[in-house]
Amino acid sequence: MVNWKLLDDGNAKAVWDKSLLRFPDYTLFQTFMWGEYKRNSGWSPKRWIAIDENDEIIAMVQGLLRIFPLNLGLIWVPGGPAGDLSAICEGFFKFAKKSTGLKRLFCRFYLNRKNNLPDEDTLRKSNMAKARCSINSGLSMLYNLFPDKSHPKATKNWRHNLRRSEKHDLSVRLWERPDIDSMLSVYEQMEGLKKIGRQYSREELIGLFETMSDKITLYRCDNAGGELLGFRGCAIIGNKGWDLLAAVTAEGRRSYASYALFDRLMQYCRDAGILYYDMGGVDPIRNPGVYNFKKGTGAVSQEYLGEWDWAMPRLLRPLVNWAVYGKRGTF
């Protein structure tokens, strides 16, 4: 027998992350601080726990809620849930609908778990379905910080480019007090060069450092004249790390600053005892440059369970998927 509970913000702040880290499948995106960061973007974080007959927490779901007219709610669950996935079958969606007071509810999970048939069967038993129009590719790259003979190392070309960076008199150092304007300037240059959309707004960067500054490790790369060429940073939670911030200027690309930055950041993570490093989502078709850079490090492709939907009434499912396809936006 599983009982679901919705924690208020005060109780969640006190116990959420401590409980979350007990599960081996915890992710950055299910931490309390990530929910608070997304609150700055207009989401309302909700945190549910599943408790078994022994009064033990067996599953946790942090959902980001937005409410629309007609008493309609959308819950986005990035990187979750954590724990026993079968607990979702025992009343989670019914309780989520009741505890939020919503008449109509659409819920989407993005599960950072290795794709496998038993978990797919469990999700289907919860009346979930694979998202028809997904936001993420469902692919990521996992970097092994302590490689052995069974794991590939960096490719010859990647190592060659790292050596090239050493010929450009670059200075790579920990950036303890990052300047938001400088970061935005580098992002804007990179976005223009690659012809991609905005990666972070000023408000998002400020919110990120306000809520997670003690969990973020950021390195900057300067040229011989002290000019900022790029930066790379990650969030470290427990013994896991996640790629979070990365950008280089045109000069940074020519001087292979990305290679020097990644190499130095990984040295830091090894020294810190990080065992698991997620380099983030990749799309080999739409963004082959990023994919090839990450693959060249020796990182291994990982296919996640990805995005799954639940809706009541069920008509919401095709409607929301249609909206996602039309806007090609992000939650």
168 and 84 housed in the same domain: no
Query: Tens digits of per-residue pLDDT, 17-50?
Result: 999 999 999 999 999 999 999 998 899 999 999 9
- Number of domains within the chain: 2
189 and 263 housed in the same domain: yes
What pLDDT does 323 receive?
80
Contact status, residue 120 vs residue 131, Cβ threshold 8 Å: no
Between helices 32-39 and 9-20, what is the axis angle to 10°? 130
What pLDDT does 327 receive?
58
123 and 203 housed in the same domain: no
284 and 310 housed in the same domain: no
Task: Of 24-38, 81-95, 147-161, 237-251, give the lowest mean pLDDT range.
Answer: 147-161
Of 83, 29, 126, 80, give the one whose Cα is nearest residue 305: 80
What pLDDT does 267 receive?
95
94 and 201 housed in the same domain: no
294 and 309 housed in the same domain: no
Taking the alpha carbons at both ends of the chain, their separation in whole angstroms is: 33
Domain ranges, residue 285? 145-298
Tell me, what CATH number does 39's domain have? 3.40.630.30
Contact status, residue 323 vs residue 309, Cβ threshold 8 Å: no
User: Is residue 328 pLDDT above 60, yes or no?
Assistant: no
What pLDDT does 235 receive?
97
At residue 283 the predicted structure's pLDDT band, cuts being 50, 70 and 90, is confident
- What value does the mean pLDDT take over residues 244-265? 97
DSSP element (H, E) containing 166:
none
Query: Tens digits of per-residue pLDDT, 203-237?
Result: 999 999 999 999 999 999 999 999 999 999 999 99
3-state secondary structure of 319: helix
Burial profile 273-311: b = 16 or more Cβ within 10 angstroms, e = fewer: ebeebbbebbeeeeeeebbebbbbbbbeebebbbbbbbb
99 and 229 housed in the same domain: no
What does the DSSP assignment read for 114-160? Answer: E--HHHHHHHHHTT-EE-SS-SS-SEEEEE-SS--TTS----HHHHH
Query: Tens digits of per-residue pLDDT, 288-297?
Result: 888 999 999 9
d(CA 273, CA 121): 35
124 and 161 housed in the same domain: no
User: Is residue 319 pLDDT above 90, yes or no?
Assistant: no
User: Is residue 141 pLDDT above 60, yes or no?
Assistant: yes
175 and 290 housed in the same domain: yes
- What value does the mean pLDDT take over residues 98-120? 94
